[in-house]
């Protein structure tokens, strides 16, 4: 059914169609509307039987999810930013135990300074935790990926994170095609756990493992993620059969066939990039965009194949490894080993900084001319950065950084200019 709805509400309804049995909720912006929507469906009896637990922290949310998933219940939770970091120990535990929990991460920056707006720092901090990470470009895809996520998680006995841009997607009202229950039931079979806590057949789960087998247990997690690389496109194809539209898969290219320059990105910014690329194509520039829809497992072969024939790659990412540069770029570079391609990293949109077409056009034109620096921060205000560096050079007790910068902006805002 076609409807106009908020991204969070669409995800809540899609998750409900997957018949989750236990949902843990702890509020953190910008994911709150999702669990609120699910809570209303449970409280109103539309989603039943289902236990909706208002827990006291994200750490508890993931811990409750571990208990319920290990007892054979289809389990869902959602978080973002600080919440994801607060649950990290349990996030690793869930994947280590092989529990197919599905979690939405409504991508948001990590403090300090505290910031509620969108970037990918939260999910990227967990790229090595053993969860599958899928990134949604639109609300329709976010909705669709959740339905695929339960199937993928349960088949692989692995938890799946569905990452969607906070506010940009979660709070945006868009038209979506909401599937009906019969379609979802046809696509997603009931959960058959590989391991379950059952008095009829008692097992111990979570035993201590020493050096004699720990490496093998970790390797098996890698082997399974490698298997997921095959399964994810198949599930996307099965999804297309039932629902009649494309969603998911490993990567998606836009105008990359003859592209000399390919921009690699994740999430909702891909839409903005497509329009930017249309503009540049109209100017005769051979440029395209590659959307990484599955970041873990990293689709090395698919990325490599997509980039093999281009001359340069610009990774545009909403994440940043302090002291290094790009995070996505590092993985993309691995896929580019021994193919002669120039690589650029553009860090953009941190803490919700708008990524405008004008700014994109500016950096991409520089890239096409090979005049872009290897590491560029889109629209970084060098004035306030240099101002503060000068302040620190001049005196010792300069005080808190963020507060200084805000004061500087307040004083110099009218004359501030954005630069590439």
Partner 1 sequence: MTQPIKFYQTGTFTVGNRLLPEDLRTVQSSEARDNSLNSGHRACQGCGEALGARYVVDAAMRATGGQLIAANATGCLEVFSTPYPETSWQLPWLHSLFGNAAAVGSGIAAALKVKAQKAGQAQSTIRVIAQGGDGGTTDIGFGCLSGMFERNDDVLYICYDNEGYMNTGVQRSSATPPAARTATTQPLGPEPGAEFGKGKNVPLIAVAHEIPYVATATVADLHDLEAKVEKAMSMHGARYLQVFVPCPLGWGAASCDTIRLARLARETGLFPVFEAENGEITAVTKIRRPVPVDDYLRLQKRFAHLFGPKGHPETIARIQAMADKNIKRFGLMAEEGAA
Q: Quick check: 88 binds partner 1 (CB under 8 A)? A: no
Q: Among candidates 340, 255, 266, which has minimal Cα distance to 289?
A: 255
Angle between helices 58-70 and 88-97 (to 10 degrees): 10
- Does 348 sit near partner 1 (CB under 8 A)? no
Distance of alpha carbon 358 from alpha carbon 327, whole angstroms: 24
Stretch of 181-189, 210-218, 321-329, 355-363 contacting partner 1, by CB under 8 A: 210-218
User: Residue 405 interacts with partner 1 (CB under 8 A)?
Assistant: no
Residue 343 DSSP one-character state: E
Stretch of 72-80, 124-132, 326-334, 405-413 contacting partner 1, by CB under 8 A: 72-80
Does residue 22 interact with partner 1 by CB under 8 A?
yes
User: Does the footprint of partner 1 cover residue 213 (CB under 8 A)?
Assistant: yes
| Binding status of residue 414 toward partner 1 by CB under 8 A | no
Joined tokens for residue 196: 């379950």
Q: Is the peptide bond before 49 cis (omega within 30 degrees of 0)?
A: yes
How far apart are CB 182 and partner 1 at their closest, in Å? 19
Find the binder of partner 1 among 182, 205, 301, 385 (CB under 8 A).
Answer: 205
**216-231 burial, b if ≥16 CB within 10 A, otherwise e?**
eeeeeeeebbeebbeb
Residue closer to partner 1 (CB basis): 216 or 392: 216
Residues in contact with 289: Cβ distance below 8 Å, sequence separation at least 6, in sequence order = 253, 254, 255, 256, 262, 263, 264, 265, 270, 273, 274, 277
Which of residues 17 and 90 has its CB atom nearest to partner 1 in the complex? 90
Q: Is 157 in the site for partner 1 (CB under 8 A)?
A: no
Of residues 89 and 403, the one with the C-beta less far from partner 1: 89
Interacting residue with partner 1 among 27, 36, 39, 97 (CB under 8 A): 97
54 makes contact with partner 1 (CB under 8 A)? yes
Rule CB under 8 A: say whether 212 interacts with partner 1: yes
Asked if residues 348 and 375 have their Cβ atoms less than 8 Å apart, the reply is no
Q: Cα–Cα distance between 369 and 46 in angstroms, integer?
A: 57
Using CB under 8 A, which of the segments 70-78, 265-273, 278-286, 319-327 binds partner 1? 70-78
Task: Give the other-Cβ count within 10 Å of 400's Cβ.
Answer: 10
Peptide bond into 263 cis (omega under 30): no
Question: For residue 144, what are its two tokens?
Answer: 């669709």
75 lies in the site for partner 1, by CB under 8 A: yes
- Is-contact 16 49, C-beta < 8 A? no
Query: Should residue 197 be labelled a site residue for partner 1 when binding is judged by CB under 8 A?
Result: yes
Minimum separation from the CB atom of position 49 to partner 1 (A):
4
Q: How far apart are CA 221 and CA 257, in angstroms?
A: 34
By the rule CB under 8 A, 45 interacts with partner 1: no
Nearer to partner 1, 52 or 246 (CB): 52
Applying CB under 8 A, does 181 fall inside the site for partner 1? no
Tell me whether residue 199 or residue 323 sits nearer to partner 1 (CB atom): 199
Q: Where does this chain touch partner 1 (CB under 8 A) — which range of 51-59, 143-151, 250-258, 344-352? A: 51-59
Of residues 212 and 371, the one with the C-beta less far from partner 1: 212
DSSP 3-state assignment of 274?
Answer: helix
Q: Say whether 122 sits in a helix, a strand or coil.
A: helix
91 binds partner 1 (CB under 8 A): no
Nearer to partner 1 by C-beta: 191 or 298?
191
The yes or no reply on residue 233 touching partner 1 (CB under 8 A) is no
Least separation in angstroms between CB 88 and partner 1? 11
- What distance in Å separates the CA atoms of residue 373 and residue 376, rounded to the nearest whole number? 6
């Amino acid at each position: 059914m076609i409807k106009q709805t908020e991204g969070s509400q669409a995800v809540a309804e899609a998750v409900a169609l997957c018949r989750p049995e236990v949902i843990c909720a702890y509020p953190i912006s910008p994911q709150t509307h999702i669990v609120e929507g699910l809570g209303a469906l449970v409280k109103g009896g539309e989603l039943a039987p289902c236990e909706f637990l208002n827990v006291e922290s994200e750490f508890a949310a993931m811990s409750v999810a571990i208990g319920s998933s290990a007892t054979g219940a289809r389990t869902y939770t959602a978080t973002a930013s600080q919440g994801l970091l607060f649950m990290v120990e349990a996030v690793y535990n869930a994947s280590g135990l092989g529990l197919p929990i599905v979690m939405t991460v409504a991508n948001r920056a990590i403090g300090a300074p505290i910031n509620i707006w969108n970037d990918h720092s939260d999910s990227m901090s967990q790229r090595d935790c053993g969860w599958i990470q899928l990134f949604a470009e639109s609300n329709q895809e976010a909705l669709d990926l959740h339905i695929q996520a339960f199937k993928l998680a349960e088949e692989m006995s692995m938890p799946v994170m569905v990452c969607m841009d906070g506010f940009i997607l979660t709070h945006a009202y868009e038209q979506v095609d909401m599937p009906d229950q019969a379609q979802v039931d046809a696509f997603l079979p009931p959960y058959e756990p590989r391991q379950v806590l059952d008095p009829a057949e008692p097992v111990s789960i979570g035993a201590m493992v020493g050096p004699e087998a720990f490496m093998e247990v970790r390797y098996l997690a890698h082997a399974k993620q490698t298997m997921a690389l095959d399964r994810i496109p198949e599930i996307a194809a099965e999804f297309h059969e039932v629902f009649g539209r494309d969603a998911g898969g490993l990567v998606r290219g836009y105008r990359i066939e003859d592209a000399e320059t390919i921009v690699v990105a994740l999430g909702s910014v891909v839409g903005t990039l497509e329009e930017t690329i249309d503009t540049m194509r109209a100017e005769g520039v051979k440029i395209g965009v590659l959307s990484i829809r599955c970041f873990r497992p990293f689709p090395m072969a698919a990325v490599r194949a997509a980039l093999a024939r281009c001359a340069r790659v610009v990774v545009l990412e909403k994440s940043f490894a302090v002291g290094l540069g790009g995070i996505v770029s590092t993985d993309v570079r691995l896929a580019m080993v021994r193919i002669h391609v120039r690589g650029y990293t553009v860090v953009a949109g941190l803490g919700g900084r708008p990524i405008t077409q004008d700014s994109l056009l500016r950096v991409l034109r520089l890239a096409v001319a090979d005049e872009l620096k290897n590491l560029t921060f889109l629209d970084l205000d060098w004035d306030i950065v240099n101002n503060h560096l000068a302040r620190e050079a001049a005196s010792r007790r300069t005080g808190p950084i963020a507060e200084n910068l805000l004061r500087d902006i307040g004083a110099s805002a009218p004359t501030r200019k954005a630069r590439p």
